[in-house]
Amino acid sequence: MKFGFLFFILLSFACKADRYADFVDSGEFKALQRTALDVPNSAGLLKLSLGDISFGQVSAKLTTFDGQVVLNAAIREGESADFVLSGRSYRISLVEMKNYLIGADDATFRIRKSEAADGQTESLDKKVRILVESMGDLKGAKFWRNGTAYTQDQAIRHLLDKYESQRGKIRSLDEFIASVASESSVSGEPYKIILSDGTEILAGSWFQNKAKELRLFP
């Protein structure tokens, strides 16, 4: 009986995950500040939560039906932000904001699948992998993270996993190096690469120079 119930729960989650494929365009919709609502046409699979509308921008958080945060960003009127949902790229656009003397301010959004973002994401994914895996050329080097020295293979795996967890927020190789490859998101301590001769290099600087050497920047 317990096995059957567990199977039903897992099947329900799998079906909901597959249904993301049907979500293409929310159309324009309004949301009040400091509220949360289901995104139109997402069949309850995606929820938008807003903070205060102030200083020409609003804090927007998108959460999936199972609680995963796929976007948490401040967006200005007329601007957009990209995020990844079940391996597909989407773009949320802030169409219009309205401030009222009396009553709650509101904002008009549109969320739709982004083929352009898909292409950009695939290109960035490739550049990130090339850059991170180039650490393998540093024979005998160690990667210093939060007080512990790791092997190159461990470092490569960690950085790629960390990138995957923040993939929807990273839009360029510069952002990857600054947000993922330069320091610990837990302690804020800078990552270091320790060469075989004992020389220590800040990881962020090494990745910047390596990206230039490999001509990965536009």
pLDDT for the residue numbered 10: 47
Please name the helix (run of DSSP H) or strand (run of DSSP E) that holds residue 155, with its range, or none. Answer: helix 152-165
| Beta carbons of 191 and 184 less than 8 angstroms apart | yes
End-to-end Cα, the chain, rounded Å: 58
pLDDT for the residue numbered 99: 87
The per-residue pLDDT string of the chain (218 residues; one tens digit each, 9 = 90 and over) reads: 455 544 444 445 444 445 666 788 899 999 999 999 999 999 999 999 999 998 889 999 999 988 889 999 999 988 888 888 877 788 899 999 998 888 789 999 999 887 655 556 668 888 999 999 999 999 999 999 999 999 999 999 999 999 888 877 787 889 899 999 999 988 999 999 999 999 999 999 999 999 999 988 86
Q: Name the phi and psi angles at 117, rounded to 5.
A: -65, -35
Is CATH 1.10.3470 the classification given to domain 2-113?
no
Residue among 102, 118, 95 at smallest CA distance from 30 = 95
3-class secondary-structure state, position 147? coil
Domain coordinates in residue numbering, the chain = 2-113, 120-213
pLDDT for the residue numbered 35: 95
Task: List % helix, strand, coil for the chain (3-state, nearest 5).
Answer: 35, 35, 30
> Residue 21 CB: number of other CB atoms within 10 A?
11
| Beta carbons of 212 and 134 less than 8 angstroms apart | no
pLDDT for the residue numbered 62: 95
pTM value surpassing 0.75: no
